[in-house]
Structures are given as C-alpha cells and as structure tokens.
Chain A
Amino acid sequence: MTTVSTWRWPTPSGWLPLPLVGGVLVLICALWLTAPMVEVDFVRLIGSLGKMTAFAGQMFVAPDWNYVPQLLAKMLETIEMTILGTAIAIVLSLPMGILAARNATPHIVVYRVTRDALSLMRALPELVWALVFVSAVGLGPLPGVMALAFVTVGFMGKFFAESIEVVDQKAVEGVRAHGAGWLQVRLFAMLPQALPDFVGTVMYILDHNLRAAAILGLVGAGGIGYDLVMSMRLFQYDRLLLIALAIYLVVTLLDRASDRLRSRIIHGRQA
C-alpha cells in the first residue's frame, strides 16, 4: 500500500522514495527495450542535425505573396470546418451527456451503454475517421466536418456528463419539489448549473478541433492541410512558411482567447 508519505521526498527515513525510484527504473527499462523499435539512433540523430538546420534554413525564403489570397480562403475554410464540426457536436453531445451522467440518466443500463459508445467514438483520432469518411462521401470539407463532429461528441459528451454529475443536488430537489417533470428537472436544475463548465469544455474542444482541422486536409478532407502537404512534397518552401505561420497565428490567437474566457468564467467577471 503506497501511502502519501512514500510519494514525497525527503522521506522520513532519509531514503529515496522507493515507488518513485522503482517507477523511474521501470521507465528506463521500457525505454531501453523499445529503443530498437523506434529506431532511436543518437548518432543518426546528431548526424542529421546539419540536415535539420539546412532544412530550417530553406524555410527562410521570400514568402510567395501571390499565394496569400488562396491561403486566406483555405484558412477560412479550416476555421469554418472547426466551427461547424463543434456546433454539430454540441447539439449531439447535450442529450448524450445527460444520458451518460449517473444522476441524470433514465436507467443505469442506458448510462453504461452511452458511456461505452462515447468512449468508442473518441477512441480513434479524427484523421482515421476522416480517412474513412472521405472514402465514403468523397473529397471536400464534408467528411472533415463529419469526422470532427463524430470524435468531438465522444469527448464533449463525456465532459458534459462529468459536469452534470457534480451539480448541487439541492437545486435539483428544489425544482422537483415544484412538481417538475423528468425533462424539466434536467433543463431547469441541472443544465444551468453545469453551463459554466460547458463553456470551458466548448472552448477547449474548439481549440482541439482547430488543430485537428488544420491537418485533416492531409487525407483530402478539406482545409489548409492539403496545401500544407502539397507544398511540402513539392518543396515550395515559400508557401510552406506562410502556411505554418498562418496556422501558428490562428492557433495562438484562439489559445489566448480561450485562456482569457476560461479564467473569466472560473474566477468571475473582473479577472
């Protein structure tokens, strides 16, 4: 049995904390055993440093300004896919979240089934689903949006369910005492309490989906990803630089915005 004290150091006995040392040793063994699988070769790694700097040097070319209009259009498409995928996922996750919350589910069997369905949906990354959906409905943003929405429901449904599970039971009882029905209790007692958590979750998911949408084009599912891969394959570094910069900018902006919004929700208005 590991108690709290053995997890800390310095330990009362003055010895190194055993669980920690054991864990690190196991980790080192695992790394050593898997090194050949990953083809870790430090000689090669150091040898390729020159190649890497040369590659990085190639990135610093005069940007291809003629490409900017297309870049903006593609970035807009990426952002639109993100928003649409997230919006569809929100609509689908709300009922899923209620079904998957222990205190809101109509029956324990429904709870288990929904939980498992959600964990299946989020098991595979967007890119795998995009690959499958592209084969099913053809190229374009549609399979990308479908893949984003599908995986996101898996995450968002789980997060929603978890925030519904921690709502204050008193408000639920109060609403129930007024003779509220099954749906009314969920709509007027549980959802309003879980709403701030929901907003935080949505911001996090939006962030995640933007990163995902930026690479979905890799498999032909719309967005900037296709241009990204093509400029890489065709060695068009003047475009690659602009694309990488654009992705970095948009992701950073959203990251900052969501950080600000989240801390405002958590710490109240003035923060």
Chain B
Amino acid sequence: MSIHDLRPVRSQDLPPKPHNPVPVWVMATLAALWLILWDLEISFEALAYGVEDMGEYFSRYGQPDFSNLSRYLELMGITLATALWGTVFALLVAFFLAPLAARNFTPNPQAYRIAREILNFMRAMPDLLLALIFVAALGLGPLPGALALGVHTAGFLGKFFAESLERVDKGVCEGVASTGANFPQMIMYAGWPSILREAMGYVLYILDRNVRMASVLGLVGAGGIGLALHDTLRLFDYGQSAALILVILATILIIDYASAWLRGRLG
C-alpha cells in the first residue's frame, strides 16, 4: 500500500485552498531592500555614529544671522518672480497643447499622439537638467531658470488639463458641436469653461511646486535664493545659511496656506 492511497477520495472536488501571497511579497520586498542596502554600502553603524555628529551639526544652525535680511528678501522676490514666469510659460504652452492631447477634442489622432509625446518628453526631463542646459545656452541668471521650470511643468500641466478635458460631459460637447462649432470654438465654449475650476487648482499646485523648485535652481547658477544658500553652505557660514533656510521655509509655508485658502474658495 503506497502513500498515495491514503489520500482522501474527494480531494479533487474540494475548492482550491485559499492562498495568501502577502507574506511572500513582504519577504521578497525585505530581501530586495536588504540587497539595496548592501549594494549602496549603507551601514547602520555609520548612521548611528553619525547621529551624534548630526546633533552637534544641527546645533550650529542655532543662531540665524538676519543681518542681510533685506538682501535675502530681494533674492526671495527674484525666486518668486522666476516661479511665476515659469508657471505662466507652462500655462501658455499647456493652453495650446492640452486640447490637442485630449482624446475627445483633438482634431486628428496624429496630432493627439504628437502632443502626448511632446508633453511626455517635457515631463520626463528633470527641471534641474533643463536649467543646466539653459544656463549653458543663455548664461547665468533667473531667465534660464524660469524657462526650465516652464518647460518641465508645461508637461505636467498639459497632462492634467488633457485629462480634465477628457472628463468633460459629453452632452456639453455635443451641444456646442451641434451649433456647428469648429475646433477653437469647441475648446473655448465646451472645453475650458467646463474645467476652469479644476484647471485653476492645477495651476495653483504647479505654482506651489515651482516656488519650491525655484528656490533650489540657484544651485546650478539659475539665480535666486538657492545660489546664496549654496554659497553660504560652502563657506560653512551656518548663521547665514540658517537665516536663508528660514526665509525659504517661511515663504513656502505662506504660499502653502495661501494656495490652500484659494483652492478652498474655488472648490
């Protein structure tokens, strides 16, 4: 009598045993993370030793030196202006590209594909990389920064707008189309008015994001407050660095609250 004969007769009729893949996934993830840790040569010992040093290091930022505050505010102003120009540039590009990249508005499938690809490409290029390129081409200053922000976020804004446009109520589109509207008229009377509120939310979000990014673009020579921060950090001038970080922090928090308030009023 072999072992197989001991099997219950109706075992084939039973429903399959429920299997729970979660433990496998968790183990696989942990293994992958461990491999990554090992490959990056990150040791927790070094981190543990580092924690003490870090406490001491951060204490050096204890006394912010606001003696150059007016200069910092001016730099912050430039940074904000850079973000604004970048956002407006992105808005303009997205305004023209998004209708082409929306499946229900696009005049022909070829334009749809090309617009999508352009938006994808703009989105895929990191803005600091673009800033590096524009700085090399245009020279130092905030303008290449604004252009870089504009190109990169035009990709995002265009995609967001296109997705909103694709959600526009079919009845609205048909209503306008039945009056014999052509492509620009469809966009102006069926497209944008329907998504205005949503679009404003996206623009605010992008502006918010651009202010954050504009404050670091200075690192690659694109002007603004990031350049000053980079310089003071390089010179180990912790007082001034702390003051600059605080100025950036305060501005971003103010913008955060302002855009939350505006969005609350819009929505």
Which applies to chain B's interface (DSSP): helix, strand, loop or mixed? helix
B249 pairs with A124, CB closer than 8 A: yes
> Chain A's nearest CB lies how many Å from the CB of B158?
14
Q: Chain A, 230-260, contact with B by CB distance < 8 Å: what is the 0/1 string?
A: 0010000000000010011001100100000
Given the known interface contacts A31-B84, A123-B252, A128-B248, the answer about A251 and B124 at a Cβ–Cβ threshold of 8 Å is: yes
Given the known interface contacts A44-B138, A55-B136, A142-B42, the answer about A137 and B126 at a Cβ–Cβ threshold of 8 Å is: no
Given the known interface contacts A38-B82, A125-B216, A128-B248, the answer about A80 and B138 at a Cβ–Cβ threshold of 8 Å is: no
Is there a chain B Cβ closer than 8 Å to A81's Cβ? yes
In the bound assembly, the distance between CA atoms of A35 and B141 in angstroms comes to 12
B143 pairs with A136, CB closer than 8 A: no
Number of A-B contacts (CB under 8 A): 161
Beta-carbon contacts under 8 Å, A193-233 to B: 211, 214-215, 218-219, 222, 225, 228-229, 232
Partner among B42, B138, B233 whose Cβ is within 8 Å of the Cβ of A131:
B233
Given the known interface contacts A8-B196, A38-B146, A80-B36, the answer about A218 and B85 at a Cβ–Cβ threshold of 8 Å is: no
B143 pairs with A45, CB closer than 8 A: yes
In the bound assembly, the distance between CA atoms of A228 and B136 in angstroms comes to 13
In the bound assembly, the distance between CA atoms of A27 and B95 in angstroms comes to 16
Closest to B257 in A: A119
Closest to A207 in B: B123
Is there a chain A Cβ closer than 8 Å to B71's Cβ? no
Is there a chain A Cβ closer than 8 Å to B54's Cβ? yes
Is there a chain B Cβ closer than 8 Å to A169's Cβ? no
A131 pairs with B230, CB closer than 8 A: yes
Given the complex, which residues of B lie within 8 Å of A81, measured CB to CB? 40
In the bound assembly, the distance between CA atoms of A119 and B213 in angstroms comes to 16
In the bound assembly, the distance between CA atoms of A136 and B41 in angstroms comes to 18
In the bound assembly, the distance between CA atoms of A51 and B42 in angstroms comes to 43
A141 pairs with B82, CB closer than 8 A: no
Partner among A9, A40, A77, A247 whose Cβ is within 8 Å of the Cβ of B129:
A247
Given the complex, which residues of B lie within 8 Å of A228, measured CB to CB? 129, 132
In the bound assembly, the distance between CA atoms of A183 and B141 in angstroms comes to 53
Beta-carbon contacts under 8 Å, B115-132 to A: 120-121, 123-126, 128-129, 132
Given the known interface contacts A51-B138, A252-B124, the answer about A137 and B245 at a Cβ–Cβ threshold of 8 Å is: no
Q: Chain A interface: which size bin?
A: 35 or more
In the bound assembly, the distance between CA atoms of A267 and B258 in angstroms comes to 34
Is there a chain B Cβ closer than 8 Å to A70's Cβ? no
Q: Which of A119, A123, A232 has the most CB of B within 10 A?
A: A123
B189 pairs with A38, CB closer than 8 A: no
Q: Which residues of A contact B (CB under 8 A)?
A: 7-10, 20, 27, 30-31, 34-35, 37-41, 44-45, 48, 51-52, 55, 76-77, 80-81, 83-84, 87, 119-120, 123-125, 127-128, 131-132, 135-137, 140-142, 145, 211, 214-215, 218-219, 222, 225, 228-229, 232, 244, 247-248, 251-252, 255
The 6 nearest A-B residue pairs measured at CB: A34-B81, A37-B81, A127-B216, A215-B128, A251-B124, A52-B137
Q: Which residues of B contact A (CB under 8 A)?
A: 29, 32-33, 36-37, 39-42, 46-47, 50, 53-54, 57-58, 77-78, 80-82, 84-85, 88, 120-121, 123-126, 128-129, 132-133, 136-139, 141-143, 146, 189, 193, 196-197, 212-213, 215-216, 219-220, 223, 226, 229-230, 233, 245, 248-249, 252-253, 256
